[in-house]
């Protein structure tokens, strides 16, 4: 029986300089397809609020929603590491985060949780890590704070903001984060993060020099209008399987993201 990938496997990929391939998944059927195509991380993202539930933001997604969809993804996959988002306000305090993450892991079987790095994220990460819960910290553009940010905008263009993001990433790693996901930052900053951290750095809208790449599955397939840093891999191909395989190959060869998808 094929075993699931672990954090040790992903760290080994980083050490070898081999890009890690990640995609969002929300159900068993697509999880099975992505798993067979060689996707190494399946992210059950709170993006399901927008692409599955039809909401304008991710803020209405609940822990119950995440448990349900995560259980489906775990059931449909065999090899990929499965990671699930902690939705809006579910990790507002360390105690609440432990409760939310514990539910996700116990009731769905995911191997890792991801949280957006709010003001008290270091304390939350430290508490989760102390309970043996693997954590991915999300930096850069944080969709759960979209109203405070004033929209979906590039983060870290200013030198002082870039330095703050780098220091924050290092602090989160020191607190116990096992992975960092960085969204919508300049490629040069993402490359610095990947070099500075010992844990894998997964990028979305962050250039090709991250340790890995993730996209929203529905953007990749052209089902939803993807942002500038995405690409429609189904266009010109005969099947969804071919599109997913092409994405895996392009990430592994560091041809995705290319110049058209790289933010300045």
Say which residues have a Cβ less than 8 Å from residue 16's Cβ, sequence separation at least 6. Answer: none
* Three-state SS at 131: coil
Q: Judge whether 183 counts as a catalytic residue.
A: yes
**Cα separation, 138 vs 13, whole angstroms:** 20
Q: Which of 116, 173, 183, 261 is catalytic?
A: 183
Nearest to 100 by CA among 129, 138, 63: 63
**H or E segment to which residue 178 belongs:** none
238: three-class secondary structure by DSSP: coil
DSSP H or E stretch at residue 88: none
Half-sphere exposure of 96 (CA within 13 A, CB side): 12
Catalogue the active-site residues: 183
């Amino acid at each position: 029986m094929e075993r699931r990938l672990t954090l040790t496997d992903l760290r080994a990929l980083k050490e070898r300089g081999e890009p890690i391939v990640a995609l969002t998944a929300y159900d068993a059927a697509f999880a099975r397809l992505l798993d067979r195509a060689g996707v190494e991380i399946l992210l059950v993202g709170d993006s399901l609020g927008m692409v599955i539930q039809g909401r304008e933001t991710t803020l209405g997604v609940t822990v119950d929603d995440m448990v349900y969809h995560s259980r489906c993804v775990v059931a449909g996959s065999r090899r990929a590491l499965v990671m699930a988002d902690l939705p809006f306000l579910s990790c507002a305090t360390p105690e609440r985060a432990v409760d939310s993450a514990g539910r996700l892991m116990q009731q769905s079987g995911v191997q890792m949780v991801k949280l957006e790095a709010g003001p008290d994220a270091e304390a939350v990460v430290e508490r989760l890590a102390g309970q043996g819960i693997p954590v991915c910290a999300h930096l850069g553009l944080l969709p759960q704070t979209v109203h405070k940010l004033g929209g979906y905008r590039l983060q870290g263009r200013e030198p002082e903001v870039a330095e703050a993001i780098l220091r924050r990433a290092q602090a989160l790693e020191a607190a116990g984060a096992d992975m960092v996901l960085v969204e919508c930052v300049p490629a040069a900053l993402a490359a610095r993060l990947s070099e500075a951290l010992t844990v894998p750095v997964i990028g979305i809208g962050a250039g090709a020099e991250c340790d890995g790449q993730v996209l929203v599955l529905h953007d990749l397939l052209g089902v939803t209008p993807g942002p500038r840093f995405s690409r429609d891999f189904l266009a010109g191909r005969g099947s969804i399987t071919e599109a997913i395989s092409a994405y895996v190959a392009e990430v592994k060869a560091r041809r995705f993201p290319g110049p058209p998808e790289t933010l300045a």
